[in-house]
């Protein structure tokens, strides 16, 4: 993640995102930069407009959050139902045990 942060920092400072600059930022942060990862980052960002990507992600994030909310609610409902079933089974087992005590 720190490699991406370095690229975002360079973009915000309006500096070139290249091997040398990314490595310099990582080194300044106390991170031992892996040359292969730096080159992969530079290659993957070659045709990317970072400002446009940020704007698109900012618009897509609330929509994704809204879509995830019903799924999370459904999952929570399933967990609650499972817990209720477990409680009922425990109560039935306890009642059966009491029945054996009193014949």
Per-residue pLDDT of the chain (103 residues; tens, 9 = 90+): 899 999 999 999 999 999 999 999 999 999 999 999 999 999 999 988 999 988 888 787 666 666 566 666 666 777 777 777 777 777 776 666 555 556 5
C-beta of residue 22 within 8 angstroms of C-beta of residue 42: yes
pLDDT recorded at residue 76: 72
pLDDT recorded at residue 16: 94
Q: Which two tokens stand for residue 67?
A: 């879509």
C-beta of residue 42 within 8 angstroms of C-beta of residue 17: yes
pLDDT recorded at residue 83: 75
pTM of the predicted structure, to 2 decimals = 0.56
Looking at domain 1-48, its CATH architecture is: Orthogonal Bundle (1.10)
pLDDT recorded at residue 81: 74
Place of tokens 């897509």: 60
DSSP sequence for 6-47: HHHHHHHTT----HHHHHHHHHHTT----HHHHHHHHHHTTT
Residue 1 and residue 21: Cα distance in Å, rounded?
16
Spell out the domain ranges in the chain: 1-48, 62-103
pLDDT recorded at residue 31: 94
Q: Which two tokens stand for residue 84?
A: 């209720």
- Residues with Cβ within 8 Å of residue 25, at least 6 apart in sequence: 6, 9, 10
């Amino acid at each position: 993640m720190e490699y991406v942060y370095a690229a975002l920092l360079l973009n915000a400072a309006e500096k070139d995102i290249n091997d040398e600059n990314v490595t310099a930022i990582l080194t300044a942060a106390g991170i031992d930069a892996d040359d292969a990862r730096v080159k992969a980052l530079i290659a993957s960002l070659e045709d990317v407009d970072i400002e446009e990507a940020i704007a698109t992600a900012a618009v897509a994030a609330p929509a994704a959050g809204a879509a995830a909310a019903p799924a999370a609610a459904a999952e929570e409902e399933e967990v609650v139902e499972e817990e209720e079933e477990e409680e009922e089974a425990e109560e039935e087992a306890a009642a059966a045990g009491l029945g054996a005590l009193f014949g």
